[in-house]
Amino acid sequence: MPSSQRRIVAPGDELDPKVEAKEPYVVEVGGKKVATVVGLLDYKGQKPSYIPLEAVYIPKPGDVIIGLVTGIGVTNWFLDINSPYQAVLNIQDFLGRPFNPATDDPARLLKIGDYVKAKVLAFDRTRNPLLTVQEDGLGRITEGKVITISPAKVPRVIGRKGSMLNMIQEETGCDVFVAVNGRVHVKCENEDLEDIVIVAVKMIEREAHKTGLTDRIRRLIREERVVRGV
């Protein structure tokens, strides 16, 4: 098979035994690797790679994610993390000190609709994922825009060795953080550039299975910059 060939894989299709892929998107059946979701089999490089085109985000301790505040409790917040599981962020962790109910109002610290960049501290599928923001770069997102894409498309937005993401940042001068749970934080010097990046990311999500995508995204960005005068 030519080294540059790609093909769409359907659920139940047998994969090349050399493919490195993880459950639940690929499983062993009778000693053979079988796809469980629609994916893209790419023979570019030394080893074939399998990219799921359908996926859900399953939290793992250590993951850095972006959550959306959807509920406020007495001592914590509940966050949508683009997953079947709802995450919890404790007020004490957010403050970095003991919680004082007389002076600390959770509704003033974080509002419903706020986005938070956080790390998954603990998760074992028997209770909601527990988050922490007690590291540099974590906390409430106060600038830029956040969009949500399918977690399956995250590797395509990042690209091989970061190629797609690096190109987008170089072409726009924006800071773009792609979280493993399918949330993308875009921060640029103006809203027009932020909108261009969002259009580009959404195009990647739609056309993740197509070849030559990096060059098309580069052309899109350059054309949009000319049209918008930025």
* Cα(164)–Cα(183) distance, integer angstroms: 16
Q: Look up residue 76 and give its two tokens.
A: 């914590």
* Cα(162)–Cα(156) distance, integer angstroms: 9
- Residue type at 97? R
Radius of gyration of the chain (CA): 20
Phi-psi region of 91 (alpha: psi -120 to 50; beta: other; left: phi over 0): alpha
Q: Look up residue 3 and give its two tokens.
A: 């080294």
Q: State the pLDDT at residue 27.
A: 83
Q: State the pLDDT at residue 3.
A: 43
* Cα(126)–Cα(207) distance, integer angstroms: 36
Phi-psi region of 77 (alpha: psi -120 to 50; beta: other; left: phi over 0): beta
Q: Look up residue 54 and give its two tokens.
A: 């359908």
* Cα(155)–Cα(157) distance, integer angstroms: 6
Q: State the pLDDT at residue 102.
A: 83
Q: State the pLDDT at residue 4.
A: 52
pLDDT (tens, 9 = 90+) of the chain, 230 residues, equals 444 577 888 888 888 888 877 677 788 888 888 888 888 787 776 677 787 777 789 999 999 999 999 999 989 999 999 999 999 999 999 999 998 888 888 999 999 999 999 999 999 878 899 999 999 999 999 999 999 999 989 999 999 899 999 999 999 999 999 999 999 999 999 999 999 999 999 999 999 878 899 999 999 999 999 999 99
Q: Which domains does the chain possess?
A: 6-52 (2.40.50.100), 64-140 (2.40.50.140), 145-228 (3.30.1370.10)
